[in-house]
Chains A and B, each alone.
Chain A
């Protein structure tokens, strides 16, 4: 199912309104210092009133069956508002990993709970170094005598790792990297919050000590599934980044119009004007690359993997530029704790490096282009 232009506008407006009401700056600041780092009531409302977790989950698994384009609209609005919630970990990472695994039994077991907003889930891929390279995974899963699996190892940078009920883990078996579902309450799971640059998105270190685990998808298919999930997740992240970058531009323009120095608005100085124009160029490229990639994903187009790599790199850079220049346009006030500019700066840098950073994603783009 896909929404038409007016459907997308309505979706954007209703998510935007929800964000304005539920995720104003004060709420974000309060949540980033509390535990858990989201408001369970707001999360239930997002699920019950707007059905946001259900949006992009197929109808057969209790969702509303929309696709990456609609998901992108929601993520842009969440990114603008720095919405603190388990949406990215649950809906973008975990749900997409389940779908990419092709394991209908696992989907039927977990997706309805995710769609209803009851199950919070996440994906644990990276380890100490933060890499998504399947070759660097050392967490192991071994089959035990009674046909079950036991998982051992350490994962890092797991988004919402201390609060997710369901953890999808990539672990090595004899057949290669493979996906497993782990219940966070299972014996042998330890979750510890990491100190983070971006206080609005939590990351955790997870330790697994012979934890009972259920295989998801074919044994040894983890590398293929990871590549697919990384594409989908980086396009989701790109939408979030484009939204955040657009918000930084708006803040700068508003300030440049109203702040007077030397007897005139600072936005009338060409140096400031051009900074804002440069930010606009970045934001336009970011939105175009994120939305085009979502459109190609929806059409299952052969160009999608290239477009996903472009969106990830383009939006990572655009958000970082917009967040930096936003502080510059604001001058001294932009450097204070009280001003929200640093919250966007932190999110921008953190998102840029979440899946490995520029050196890695530029090489991924060349690889996708066959270069």
Chain B
């Protein structure tokens, strides 16, 4: 039976009141006070990062034990059996509280891999992994991209060869977020090199502690190592860890990618919220004595039009979802705009700051923006490059003909 959203909201509030404290509004924070970090990607020292992961797991467990860990999940696997609307209601309420960041579990594992396991795994594998993931015990990562297969994912060459009831996997994956913390990974492998490339792929769940799995941090241009390279050398995986049919892995991959597009670009809050906050940007103009600069003001106006219009787009998509209408292309458009808005904001701020963006004067809220600036090129690439997103909009939304593909 579906629970009334108002009762549900009240229940969520009393849970959060009991386990968390109300958060200050990040976007409205006072200039010159508090943490001035503008990091989109984390670049914490290992011990701090480990502590963050521990806190994320703990908060996920508390959520799960109180019925808010997997709101839309089917009860037979430990979910609450409610609707995406309840999910939205909970997220909106939780955003008012100061709770540990659970991105390490949520963005890839619960946002993308969980729904894929639910759709394609055998029942006993769902029982084995799903409650563990939603309880915060198991972190999952996505072993999709390879050095030679980035946006063109169907070109994966990691081999999987059957040996009795097991498969032997060998190859290299790259751009794997949270692999260093993961307990399980979803791998795309090549099982039929002769077949047309979309048809010779098979998907497997790989326990990350299996012999032959090696994770190496990949340092990015931001200086941190958010991503990893994952080397698979004769890794043995039982056949029941296969998702979907043999050579039918592309269908499995599409489930994950669809969920990826819903996940990326929805991170409206976080430390970089201030970058798109009118109040914060106006305070920055005052602090940098660029308040009266007509050219900068005009650019700020243009930027804020897009920021606020993107907000309207998201608000309308959420309202559609609440009304039970499948959203249109809004999410893809919002993802594109989110990357572009943050990029323009970082460059706008740079033009206000001048030299204070290129060398640290020690002044609050100045050099800190260099962290965001260095993250912006990635925002136009991760989760599907801008070019791929535009192809999707043109082909699937506008119905333009596909490009001839090999």
Chain A contact residues, CB within 8 Å of chain B? 5, 249, 253, 256-257, 264-265, 267-270, 272-274, 276-278, 280-281, 284-286, 288-289, 291-293, 306-307, 310, 313-314, 317, 358-359, 361-363, 365-366, 369-371
In the complex, B297 has a CB within 8 A of chain A: yes
Please indicate the chain B residues that have their CB under 8 angstroms from the CB of A363 in the complex: 297-298, 301
A291 and B403 contacting across the interface, CB-CB below 8 Å: no
12 contacts across the A-B interface (CB closer than 8 A): A257-B400, A267-B400, A277-B390, A277-B398, A281-B393, A284-B313, A292-B312, A313-B301, A313-B305, A363-B301, A369-B278, A370-B282
Please indicate the chain B residues that have their CB under 8 angstroms from the CB of A249 in the complex: 398
Give the shortest distance, in Å, between B326 (CB) and chain A (any CB).
14
> Which residue from chain B places its CB closest to the CB of A306 in the assembled complex?
B308
Most buried by B among A274, A277, A286, A289: A277
B391 and A362 contacting across the interface, CB-CB below 8 Å: no
A273 to B402, CA, bound (A): 9
A362 and B301 contacting across the interface, CB-CB below 8 Å: yes
- With A274-B394, A291-B316 in contact, is A280–B308 under 8 Å at CB? no
Please indicate the chain B residues that have their CB under 8 angstroms from the CB of A370 in the complex: 282
A273 and B394 contacting across the interface, CB-CB below 8 Å: yes
| Stretch from B3-11, B43-51, B328-336 contacting the other chain | B328-336
A253 to B399, CA, bound (A): 8
A270 to B399, CA, bound (A): 13
Please indicate the chain A residues that have their CB under 8 angstroms from the CB of B328 in the complex: 284
A281 and B278 contacting across the interface, CB-CB below 8 Å: no
B315-343 with Cβ < 8 A to chain A: 315-316, 323, 328-330, 333, 336-337
B304 and A288 contacting across the interface, CB-CB below 8 Å: no
Q: How extensive is the interface on chain B, given as a class?
A: 35 or more
B391 and A281 contacting across the interface, CB-CB below 8 Å: no
In the complex, B17 has a CB within 8 A of chain A: no
Select one of B300, B391, B394 contacting A366, CB under 8 A: B300
A196 to B309, CA, bound (A): 31
A306 to B389, CA, bound (A): 30
B297 and A366 contacting across the interface, CB-CB below 8 Å: yes
B404 and A268 contacting across the interface, CB-CB below 8 Å: yes
A362 and B315 contacting across the interface, CB-CB below 8 Å: no
A273 and B390 contacting across the interface, CB-CB below 8 Å: yes
In the complex, B387 has a CB within 8 A of chain A: yes
Give the shortest distance, in Å, between B293 (CB) and chain A (any CB).
12
A310 to B306, CA, bound (A): 8
A99 to B403, CA, bound (A): 54
B315 and A292 contacting across the interface, CB-CB below 8 Å: yes
In the complex, B395 has a CB within 8 A of chain A: yes
In the complex, B310 has a CB within 8 A of chain A: yes
Give the shortest distance, in Å, between B386 (CB) and chain A (any CB).
9
In the complex, B397 has a CB within 8 A of chain A: yes
> Which residue from chain A places its CB closest to the CB of B302 in the assembled complex?
A362
Please indicate the chain B residues that have their CB under 8 angstroms from the CB of A278 in the complex: 390
Give the shortest distance, in Å, between A256 (CB) and chain B (any CB).
6
Select one of A5, A256, A292, A306 contacting B316, CB under 8 A: A292
Give the shortest distance, in Å, between B175 (CB) and chain A (any CB).
23
- With A267-B401, A306-B308 in contact, is A288–B393 under 8 Å at CB? no
1/0 contact string of B360-402 vs chain A (CB within 8 Å) = 0000000000000000000000000001011101110111111
A149 to B391, CA, bound (A): 63
Most buried by B among A5, A276, A278, A293: A276
Select one of B333, B394, B403 contacting A276, CB under 8 A: B394
A369 to B276, CA, bound (A): 13
